Structure 1
Amino acid sequence: MRQFDQELRDLRDGLLSMAGLAEEMIDLTIQALTERSRTKAEQVMAMDRGLDEWELKLDRLCIDLLALRSPAAGDLRLIASSLKIVPELERIGDHCCNIARRATYVHPPILSSGSLERLGQETRGMVRMAVDAFIGSDAGLARTVIKSDDSVDELYGQIYRELLRRMMSDPLSIERASHLILVIKNWERIADQATNIAEEVLFILEGRSAKHPYLQGDSVE
């Protein structure tokens, strides 16, 4: 195998390892919230160092590939998109830490109908699909991720409005509600990161940007 091919494989494998770590952090964050576990929240924050290390390693690899190998066509798209996917994965870890820090401040619960748990699970599903789309070179799945962001945004809006109503009707709930607003905002941002990753997958596969389709007279559908 040519060295360049091995380096591209190392890049893909590194991205998958980094994505796997980000997914582990999401799962542990959900558990920390559900169980109000300080121990699991601390584990989430400790894992963030691993994502930071992967970011530096993969950034260097991408830059070396661009500088030394003069890649073209699909290989160039993979490397260029990897430079965008890597920081998205790193930010997912940051948002997990932000949520985990508040795991012990959001109880007893003040939200109805398990909406907070549903937001976490839907967001987690988007990340899983985005990673699967990358692994399987699946443009259809990448488009599903992009469409799913609307559902997460809608659920975020519903929870936000419920928290505002609760704060107005019960001043004693303001502190917990304030923590929850930060929690749901971070979940919403993770969903945005999953969407960005899916857009990069489409660029790798199709060679065109899926961002801002209204500016291109095009659609991701």
Structure 2
Amino acid sequence: MHPEHTVKSYDSELKRLRTLIVDMGALVEQQLSRAIEAVAERDSHKANLVIELDPEVDQREYIIDQFAVRLLALRQPVAHDLRQVVAALKISSHLERIADYAANVAKRAVFLNKTNVVNPVHLIPKMALTTQNMIHGVLEAYMNLDDVMTTKIWKQDAEVDEMYGQLLKELLEFMRDDPQYIAPCTHVLFMAKNIERIGDHVTNIAEVVHFITHGKPYTEPRPKVEEIELNNIDTKPFR
């Protein structure tokens, strides 16, 4: 729970900051959802909507930054309050990057929708749904300072990395068996990497939320995608 202050307007300002973060997060979650629908449904109209709305996410980040800087200047927060304000600056930055990756997925969807279906693309929505649920969960954990939920989200990054490794393996096999699909498969590969990076940013947000509560980072290291790529993918030469 968030501590209360004698000056009620201060509480209102901190609550407003949290609300701005959650509202921005909801928009980012919607952006990712729409981008994945554009892939699954081969709908370029939805893809273009994602691309057009990306500047709105940038504007939300700017508003949060200005609000947080004002709080730092006028309230001079300390301890838990200071961590809240600094966390908002960090979280808004991660959310903006997530939105950029969603827009990148949408841009590649526009290209893919003009080509024949690439079989491994079916793994993209599954992978993205996991990251979308992570975004929703970490925002809920942020609002409630729920460290149990935060840690659960933090550990889920390994699932995203595992799916990324599986998709990469399928893409390599698909391209090896039918080299004419190398170009569209490359777009799917970049989509997968974008979504994997979204998972990383959500995990970073979870670490920020954990820091708000405890004032220190996690001590346990998280899995690295490079290790998964090297250990789980057998790359054979193309024909």
Asked if these proteins are the same fold (TM beyond 0.5), I'd say yes
Contact 1:199 1:211 in 2 (8 A): no
| 2:103 is the alignment partner of 1:97 | yes
**Equivalents in 2 of 1:3, 1:194: separation in Å?**
31
**What CA distance in whole angstroms lies between the structure 2 residues aligned with 1:15 and 1:7?**
13
Deviations 1:126-180 (A, max 9, x none): 1111111112211011111111100110110111121122222211110110000
Task: Count how many residue pairs are aligned between Structure 1 and Structure 2.
Answer: 214
CA–CA separation in structure 2 for the residues paired with 1:92 and 1:118: 17
Determine if contact 1:167/1:174 at 8 Å carries over to the other structure.
yes
- Matched residues, percent identical? 36
Q: Which amino acid is the alignment partner of residue 134 of structure 2?
A: M
Structure 1 stretches of 4+ with a deviation exceeding 4 A read 211-214
Deviations 1:87-146 (A, max 9, x none): 000011100100001113335333359322211111111111111111221101111111
After superposition, where does 1:114-193 map in structure 2 within 5 Å?
A: 114-193=122-201
SS state at 1:71 partner = coil
CA distance in 1, matches of 2:220, 2:76: 29
- Structure 2: 5+ residue runs without aligned partners? 1-6, 223-239
User: Is the Cα contact below 8 Å between 1:85 and 1:200 reproduced in 2?
Assistant: yes
State the TM-score, normalizing by the size of structure 2. Answer: 0.84
Amino acid at match of 2:27: L
Q: Any stretches of 5+ residues in structure 1 without a counterpart?
A: 215-221
Q: Report deviation, 1:46.
A: 1.5
User: What is the identity, as a one-letter code, of the residue corresponding to 2:139?
Assistant: V
For the pair 1:67 / 2:108, whether they are aligned, the reply is no
Question: C-alpha separation between the residues in 1 aligned to 2:195 and 2:219?
Answer: 21
Task: Kindly provide the amino acid, as one letter, of the partner of residue 140 in structure 2.
Answer: D
Q: Residue 4 of structure 1 aligns to a residue in which SS?
A: helix
- 2-structure distance, mates of 1:78, 1:203: 9
Give distance in 1, aligned partners of 2:196 and 2:219.
18
| Matches of 2:52 and 2:118, distance apart in 1 | 29
Does the CA contact (< 8 Å) of 2:210 and 2:216 recur in 1?
A: yes
Deviation at 1:76, TM superposition (A): 0.7
Greater mean alpha carbon deviation, residues 44-53 or residues 205-214: 205-214
- One of 15, 40, 45 as aligned partner of 1:39: 45
Distance 2:180 2:111 in 1: 13
Matched, 1:80 2:120: no
Instruction: Output the amino acid matched with 1:200.
Output: V
Distance 2:140 2:193 in 1: 24
Judged with a 3 Å threshold, the aligned counterparts in structure 2 of structure 1 residues 190 and 113 are, in CA distance, closer, same or farther, namely closer
Please tell me whether the aligned partners of residues 40 and 122 of structure 2 are also in contact (alpha carbons under 8 angstroms).
Answer: no
- Equivalence for 1:218: none
Whether the aligned pair in 2 keeps the contact of 1:99 and 1:183 (CA below 8 Å) is yes
Deviation of 1:211 (Å)? 6.7
Q: CA deviation at 1:3?
A: 3.0
* CA RMSD across the alignment: 1.7
Q: C-alpha separation between the residues in 1 aligned to 2:116 and 2:218?
A: 42
